[in-house]
Amino acid sequence: MTHRYRSYDVPHKGLRNAFSQLVVRCSTTDYTNGHDVEELAFLADDVFRFLHLHAHAENDVVLAQLEERLPGSTAHDRDDHDDLHVLQHELETLLADMRGRSRKAEDVTTMGHTFADGVHRLVARHLEHMSGEETTTQDLLWQHFTDEELHGHAGIIMSKHAPEELLMELRFIVPALSHPERVGLLSTLQTVAPEPFVRSVFDVVRNNMTTKDFTKLEEALSASAA
């Protein structure tokens, strides 16, 4: 059976992984401990950056090209992105304040609970939005683009991101993929990316996967290169 290319699978798996890590970190953080708060803030900064990059990639590439072929079809997704940006900005502002107070050795427990509640709302809203993209928007993409064109969208998006941005995203994405998806993605990277960047990717992936899964991945990539 032939399967169509699913435009949202790879980034959305990474985002769901990022969401799960952030939700758990909010739950386990001791907001009277400055180190704990810094660790939470570091993770949240990356998750928020991932969301920002992903929304811009969709708006500037996927939705822009869909709008050209089907005018008016992307308004709902773009409006969602704007609403989600507002929610995220509120959390970023709260996080900056909480981080600053924690660095002054203040107890930020109340702020931490407010931040966690906001993260839960943001994640819930994103999951609903992503579900719509994976069904309604994906169907429109299949109707108006070939799989080759949809693959091309992914290539354009990757080319627009700086190496450090890609490394951050891949830290969440690769562990969330199935084994065949991991092999496919990293095989492609080995073909098109500079060797120093590929080594950096493997270092990041190694540190964020189980030893068993990473060894399986290495063996598969070695076999495919033989």
How confident is the model over 174-202, as pLDDT tens digits?
Answer: 999 999 999 999 999 999 999 999 999 99
> Does any domain span residue 169?
no
> Does any domain span residue 33?
yes
In this structure, are 100 and 197 located in the same domain?
no
In this structure, are 156 and 181 located in the same domain?
no
> Does any domain span residue 91?
yes
User: What's the CA gap between 182 and 184, in Å, rounded?
Assistant: 5
Mean pLDDT of the chain: 97
Q: Is pLDDT at 130 greater than 70 in this prediction?
A: yes
In this structure, are 108 and 15 located in the same domain?
yes
Q: Tens of pLDDT along 135-186?
A: 999 999 999 999 999 999 999 999 999 999 999 999 999 999 999 999 999 9
In this structure, are 139 and 211 located in the same domain?
no
User: What's the CA gap between 204 and 184, in Å, rounded?
Assistant: 17
> Does any domain span residue 181?
yes
Q: Is pLDDT at 226 greater than 90 in this prediction?
A: no
pLDDT at 66: 98
Residue ending a domain, among 160, 186, 218, is 160
Q: Structural domain tally of the chain? A: 2
In this structure, are 111 and 216 located in the same domain?
no
In this structure, are 214 and 117 located in the same domain?
no
**DSSP character string of 58-115:** IIIIIHHHHHHHSTTTTHHHHHHHHHHHHHHHHHHHHHHHHHHHHHTT---HHHHHHH
Of 65, 18, 80, the residue nearest 44 (C-alpha): 18
Residue ending a domain, among 160, 190, 207, is 160
In this structure, are 20 and 89 located in the same domain?
yes
In this structure, are 82 and 139 located in the same domain?
yes
Residue 69 structural domain: 9-160
> Does any domain span residue 172?
no
Residue ending a domain, among 160, 189, 212, is 160
Predicted confidence band at 28 (pLDDT cuts at 50, 70, 90)? very high
Percent of residues, the chain, with pLDDT higher than 70? 99
> Does any domain span residue 167?
no
Write the CATH number for 98.
1.20.120.520
In this structure, are 134 and 100 located in the same domain?
yes
In this structure, are 22 and 88 located in the same domain?
yes
> Does any domain span residue 86?
yes
Q: Is the dihedral of CA 100, 102, 105, 108 positive or negative?
A: positive
In this structure, are 153 and 185 located in the same domain?
no
Q: Tens of pLDDT along 205-223?
A: 999 999 999 999 999 999 9
